Amino acid sequence: MDVKILKSSFAVAERRAEHTVKFFYAHLFRHHPALRELFPVEDEDMQRQRDRLFAALTRIVGRLHDDGLLPYLHDLGRDHRKYRVAPEHYAAVGTSLRAALAAACGASWTPATEKAWAEAYQVVADAMTDGAARSQDPPWWDAEVVRHLTYGPDTGVLTLLPDAPLPYVPGQYVSVSSDLVPRVWRPYSLGNAPRPDRTVDLHVSRIDGGRLSTALVRRTAPGDRLRLGAPGGRAVLRREGRPISFVAAGTGWAPVRAMLEDLAERPPDAEVRLFVVARDAAHFYDRPVIEALAAGPVRPSVTYITPAPGRHRNQATERLATALGNRGRWPDQDVHLSGPAPFVEEIAHLVRELGADPARVFHDALPYGAGTAGRPRPLGPGEWFLDPPAPHWHDPAARM
């Protein structure tokens, strides 16, 4: 691959990201209309789909010299099976991608550029089809909802029984789909360590404009069926005898609970600290479980953080920063962070400033997007150019 040509041409297309992705899908659906049925129905969901495409491209181009690129592409291909992507679809996608990049690059698109992208895309397509072919897992797991607990109008904990065992490690997530919102998948962390009865918990916070989260919290009932994608994520316990600090906000508590349950089976010798953040005391929805874990074999020291009465919920982050600053020994800690993307990024920066080893601060990349707690999706190409969104997505959600 001619990396120099790929990066320079992509830098041109990146300035017209909105135009590029819209051109891509228009070209793909005009020349291959049957493929439209593989994608979300609603315009809002397709908006997010376009963002995911460009985020995936950004990640691939940025990792052309990275040894981790091929494993990433293998995982991406394995995961795309749940979207019903077949090997013959890759050629159509490649043709439309080159057409979109050519339209974005204009006069700077040369025969050499065309050749470089054709070769690079073939490497990507081969790696993804290879990853799909190698996988021994099903494209997805069907699962029955066996319990649905609600905590206020916007938080739900769903207990699911997959039809087949779901192999995962505490701290990982799965992508979830429901027939109530066709062809839409969203990532949710698994909220428990593996159980003998195979059930798993999803902790779901309903977000304004979030069609799937609303359906899961308000319209899903025991007996309903969901689909689960392959587990993913690398922010899991290392078990290297180091002290551990967990920081969780909102339903970001789910993966932390799973890791603490796992620690309870094999308690560590080192200290465990837990900081739990919520917009108010009523949103500590799992407090009895937290207290039971605190009294168990792990005995983590627990600090609850909320805003002062009557203050905006953002003050909780300020109070957390004070609490973290008052606790020492950060260079010794493994730090696990979970919660909304802006929260995780801010606290990751803070703990590094407090002395935590950047290589020991663990969290999975989370998306910004419309209707999430992060900054809203840019209104158009001008705003995208002035303030580009962070191109970080959960691996399985980075669908091309």
Q: What is the CATH number of domain 141-228?
A: 2.40.30.10
**Which pLDDT belongs to residue 400?**
42
Q: What is the CATH number of domain 3-136+377-397?
A: 1.10.490.10
pLDDT at 394 over 80: no
What would the mean pLDDT of 373-387 be, rounded to a whole number? 44
Q: Which helix (H) or strand (E) holds 205?
A: strand 200-205
**Which pLDDT belongs to residue 332?**
93
Which residues fall within 8 angstroms of residue 149, CB to CB, at 6 or more apart? 156, 157, 158, 159
Here the tokens at position 92 are: 């159509």
16-60 pLDDT, tens per residue? 888 999 999 999 999 999 999 998 887 777 877 887 788 888 889
Here the tokens at position 135 are: 């996988």
**Which pLDDT belongs to residue 397?**
39
pLDDT at 367 over 80: no
More confident of the two residues 315 and 385: 315
pLDDT at 93 over 60: yes
Lateral strand order in the sheet of 225-228: 186-189, 173-178, 225-228, 141-150, 155-162, 200-205
**Which pLDDT belongs to residue 42?**
79
**Topology of the domain covering 244-362:** Rossmann fold (3.40.50)
Dihedral sign from CA coordinates of 62, 64, 68, 71: positive
**Which pLDDT belongs to residue 62?**
87
- Establish how many alpha carbons lie within 13 A of residue 102's alpha carbon, considering only the half-sphere containing its beta carbon: 16
Question: Confidence band (pLDDT; 50, 70, 90) for 372?
Answer: very low
147-159 pLDDT, tens per residue? 999 999 999 999 9
Highest-scoring range by mean pLDDT, 11-15, 107-111, 339-343: 107-111
Picking from 9, 229, 246, the residue whose alpha carbon sits closest to that of residue 138 is 229
**Which pLDDT belongs to residue 381?**
42
Question: Confidence band (pLDDT; 50, 70, 90) for 391?
Answer: very low
**How many CB atoms within 10 Å of residue 179?**
11
50-81 pLDDT, tens per residue? 877 888 888 899 888 888 899 889 989 998 99
pLDDT at 131 over 80: yes
Structural domain boundaries in the chain: 3-136+377-397, 141-228, 244-362
Question: Confidence band (pLDDT; 50, 70, 90) for 368?
Answer: very low
